[in-house]
Amino acid sequence: MTHQSATPVSRRADGRRTCSAHRTDGEPCRGLAIRGAAVCTVHGGSAPQVKLSAEQRIRDLVDPSLNRIQKTIADDDNPQLALAAARDILDRAGYKATEKIQQDGRTVIEIEYVARTLELPGTDE
């Protein structure tokens, strides 16, 4: 499912998306849009349906993102990028990859599990 915004995306210098709404004086809102949506909390970003749609847009990107990372990991042309992608996935899954340089010059990557609780979407306790 692909969602298209009718309003052009406006971003701040730091890359964060700004609200697409306009203030009562006609000027564009300079607030930050909530994650996954085009509006700030003042202009509807706090509404349950907006939050739900924003979360769904983000969830819709998970499978394509994982597929892209999987292709990157399998890419023999760029082993450094593949290693970075693999480390990112391990980190998000609760594993920590550390590099150790052996005396003979070989690089060994050790992986250890780091116990932590995962926050699952939609589980409020």
User: What's the pLDDT score for residue 125?
Assistant: 46
Q: Which amino acid is at 104?
A: D
- pTM given for the model: 0.52
Asked if residue 125 belongs to a domain, the reply is no
Whether residues 13 and 44 fall in one domain: yes
Of the residues 60, 80, 98, the one at which a domain ends? 60
Together in a domain, 82 and 92:
yes
Residue 16 is encoded by which pair of tokens?
A: 């964060």
Q: Which of 22, 45, 60 is the last residue of a domain?
A: 60
The contacts of residue 81 (CB under 8 Å, 6+ apart) are 72, 75
In this structure, of 34-38, 65-69, 95-99, the range with the lowest mean pLDDT score is: 95-99
pLDDT at 115 over 90: no
Tell me: the pLDDT tens digits for 19-59?
999 999 999 999 999 988 999 999 999 999 999 998 898 88
Q: Are residues 50 and 88 in the same domain?
A: no
| Domain carrying residue 44 | 9-60
CA separation for the pair 98, 110 (Å, rounded): 5
Residues 49 and 67 grouped into a single domain: no
The total of structural domains in the chain comes to 2
> Do 69 and 55 belong to one domain?
no
